[in-house]
Structure 1
Amino acid sequence: MIKNRFIKNVLCFFCVCFFSVANAEQFCLGTAPVSAPEENFLKLDNGQLLHLRTNLVWMRCAIGQTWNGETCTGEAEPYTWKQALELSVGYEFNASTNWRLPNIKELSSITERSCTRPSVDVDLFPATPPDDFWTSTPSMNDPERAWVVAFFNSSNSIKEKNRTVFVRLVRTALPFEREPD
Structure 2
Amino acid sequence: MKKISKQGFVCAITLLSTITATITFAGNSNRYKTQSGGTVLDTKMNLIWKRCSEGQKWNGKTCQGNTKMMRWYAATAYAKNHKFAGSSNWRLPTIKELNTLIYCSNGKKLKYKQDGFNGKNVEGGYGCSSSIHGKFQKPTIDIKIFPNTSSYSFWSSSPNSDFSSSMFRLNFVNGSDGRNAHNNNFYVRLVRSKE
TM-score range, shorter chain: 0.7 to 0.9
Deviation of the 1:110 alpha carbon:
1.2
Residues 36 and 109 of structure 1 are in contact (CA less than 8 Å); yes or no, is this contact kept in structure 2?
Answer: no
Aligned to 1:103: 94
**1:42-61 aligned within 5 A:** 42-61=33-52
- 1:166 maps to 2:187: yes
Please, which of 61, 64, 70 is the counterpart of residue 73 of structure 1? 64
* 1:88 corresponds to: 79
Q: Which residue of 2 aligns with 1:62?
A: 53
User: 2: CA distance between counterparts of 1:41 and 1:65?
Assistant: 20
User: Is 1:151 equivalent to 2:142 in the alignment?
Assistant: no
CA contact (8 A) 1:35 1:113 kept: no
Q: How does 1:127-146 map to 2 (within 5 A)?
A: 127-146=148-167
Q: CA RMSD in A?
A: 1.6
Q: Identity percentage over the alignment?
A: 33
Using the TM superposition, give the Cα deviation of residue 133 of structure 1 relative to its aligned residue in structure 2, in angstroms: 0.1
**Structure 2 residues not aligned, in runs of 5+:** 1-17, 106-135
- In the TM superposition, structure 1's runs of 4+ consecutive aligned residues that sit over 4 Å from their partners are none
Distance 1:140 1:36 in 2: 34
Q: Highest CA radius of gyration, 1 or 2?
A: 1
State the aligned residue count. 145
TM-score, normalized by length of structure 2? Answer: 0.71
- Secondary structure of the 2:98 match is helix
Partner-residue secondary structure (3-state), 1:162: coil
Deviation at 1:160, TM superposition (A): 1.2
* Normalised TM-score (structure 1): 0.76
CA contact (8 A) 1:65 1:73 kept: yes
Structure 2 Cα separation of the partners of residues 103 and 113 of structure 1: 20
